[in-house]
Structure 1
Amino acid sequence: MSSATPADVLDRRRRMTMNGDADGLAELYSLDAVIEMPFAGPDAPRRLEGREAIRAYARRVTTSPMRLDSYDVAELYRTDDPELVIVEMRGTATMTTTGRSFTTTSIQILRIRDGEIVLFRDYANPGILKDLLGETNR
């Protein structure tokens, strides 16, 4: 049983994400972890099951033309369930193909058990990427 707190796990996740360490990031998830992204854009899965699927997706993201400039916990909300946290994340990134940058926030719900993420739900606005890529009609 790990003594890592949810804040510890979130800090490690932030460091791995900022360093582009897809393998280290995947290791933060349990073998049977689930990621759900209900509002995912057309090129992103809405659900990933298992650490290896998470690893493959993380590798794909780290090689994309989106460079992550910052990624921080804006707010961390604890619940009555010690495994469950709600997080407001704020990130800034730059599209290396266009030089355009953006800032976005998302709400994330995580279940962290014994120092591993077992469930991660990300509620982000995929429209911001469409705007950056010029795919929206104005």
Structure 2
Amino acid sequence: MSTSRTPAELLDRRRQVILDGDAEGFAALFAPDAVIDMPFEGTPDAPLRIEGQEAIRDYAQRMMNSPVRIEEFDVTALHQTQDSEVLVVEMRTIGTVTTTGKPFSVTSVQILHLRDGLITLFRAYGDPRVLAQAGR
């Protein structure tokens, strides 16, 4: 399914569905064969890798039902690359872990590959210690 979303519109939509807790809307931003890679999440031997829109939907639902509540999710910098289908995004995420009441703030760098207005590859590089310290 092709869409005419610009990268900025896609990022705005992603922000909104995350803040709204809309797992279905989040998954709809991804191509059917999309991949999410989070090299610093999971375990050292098995970093988190999610393949396919259905698996992304399931992952998003689990995350949105978790005790991590995101209150702010903002692009602090957007870097265009020589490839118009590749974006480098610096993000700031602020929230609370509801089971501990502890707030967290994390900055991450995300690399997004786009095709026809949908995300085909999403790589996130953030510090996983932040949520661990907040008691996730």
TM-based fold match above 0.5: yes
Which of 113, 116, 120 is the equivalent residue of 2:122?
Answer: 120
Structure 2 unaligned blocks of 5 or more: none
- The answer as to whether partners of 1:41 and 1:126 remain within 8 angstroms in 2 is no
Q: Show structure 1 runs of 4+ deviating over 3 A.
A: none
Match of 1:63 in 2: 65
Q: Give CA-to-partner distance per residue, 1:58-116, whole Å, 9 cap, x none.
A: 00000001111100101000001000000000010101111110111000000111110
Q: Distance in 1 between matches of 2:7 and 2:62?
A: 26
Match of 1:39 in 2: 40
The structure that is strand-richer by fraction is 2
Q: Distance in 2 between matches of 1:121 and 1:107?
A: 8
Shift of 1:41: 4.0
Match of 2:75 in 1: 73
Q: Distance in 2 between matches of 1:86 and 1:109?
A: 5
Match of 1:22 in 2: 23
Q: RMSD of the TM alignment (CA)? A: 1.5
Match of 1:82 in 2: 84
Instruction: Give the residue type in structure 2 aligned to 1:26.
Output: A
Q: What count of residue pairs does the alignment treat as equivalent?
A: 133
Q: Distance in 2 between matches of 1:36 and 1:83?
A: 17
Q: Distance in 1 between matches of 2:55 and 2:38?
A: 14
Shift of 1:45: 5.9
Q: Give the TM-score normalised by structure 1.
A: 0.92
- The answer as to whether partners of 2:92 and 2:107 remain within 8 angstroms in 1 is yes
Query: The residue matched to 2:39 in structure 1 has which SS?
Result: coil
Q: Give CA-to-partner distance per residue, 1:8-67, whole Å, 9 cap, x none.
A: 11110000000000001001100000000000045x961000000000000000000111
Match of 1:111 in 2: 113
Instruction: Give the residue type in structure 2 aligned to 1:119.
Output: L
Identity of aligned residues (%): 52
Q: Give the TM-score normalised by structure 2.
A: 0.93
